[in-house]
Amino acid sequence: MTDEDGRRGTPLVDEVIKKAAVAWVTVAGEPARGLWCAPLEGALLVVSGPGEQAAPGLAEATEVHVTMRGDHGGRIVTWSARVDRLLPGTEEWETVAPLVAGKRLNAPGSSADLVRRWADEGCALTRLTPAGDAVSGEALPTGSLAEPVG
């Protein structure tokens, strides 16, 4: 399925996005990282940078792979996502950043303070939009996407 914004998704991808709190994101073939995310309008929003989670390469990427896991810890679906960075001072930032800040747990200060800090410290607010066919069921990779320990 493709919508007017070029978003491609499936009913399964759409459903897991709605319930997402953590996504495993693979950037440029590096090991997947578990990243806190906020669902919004069929996409996932991720904040990274100083004082936030580390997501090397995400802000500069154009495409990533996203894997969602279920409550049981098993993989539900993996899909390709288009990466768009939202920039401070744009109308989109002014609309979206406060919504994401409102979902950010354990942050000191108000949502407005958090949005201001993200802009001042150069944090990246990125949107991950489904851009390819989902890989699910038997077609899923058989290996772990977890980063090696030690």
Q: What is the pLDDT of residue 4?
A: 47
Helix, strand or coil, per DSSP, at residue 51: coil
pLDDT tens-place string over residues 12-57 = 888 889 989 999 999 998 999 999 999 999 999 999 999 999 999 9
Residue 142 has pLDDT above 70, yes or no: no
- Identify the helix (H) or strand (E) that includes residue 47: strand 43-48
DSSP three-state, residue 44: strand
In sequence order, which ranges of the chain are alpha helices (DSSP H)?
11-18, 91-103, 111-121
DSSP 10-38: -HHHHHHHHT-SEEEEE-TTSPPEEEE-E
Strand order in the sheet with 63-69: 33-36, 22-26, 63-69, 75-86, 124-130, 43-48, 38-40
At residue 120, what are phi and psi to the nearest 5 degrees? -65, -35
Give me the residues paired with residue 80 across strands: 65
Q: Is the pLDDT of residue 1 over 70?
A: no
When pLDDT is averaged across residues 116-121 and rounded to a whole number, the result is 97
Please give the class, per CATH, of domain 11-135.
mainly beta
Instruction: Give me the residue spans of the domains in the chain.
Output: 11-135
Of residues 134 and 26, the one with the higher pLDDT is 26
pLDDT level of residue 136 (50, 70, 90 thresholds) = low
Whether 10 contacts 131, CB under 8 Å: no
Give φ, ψ of 9 to 5 degrees.
-150, 180
pLDDT at 138: 46
Give residue-wise pLDDT tens across range 65-107: 999 987 777 888 999 999 999 999 999 999 999 999 999 988 8
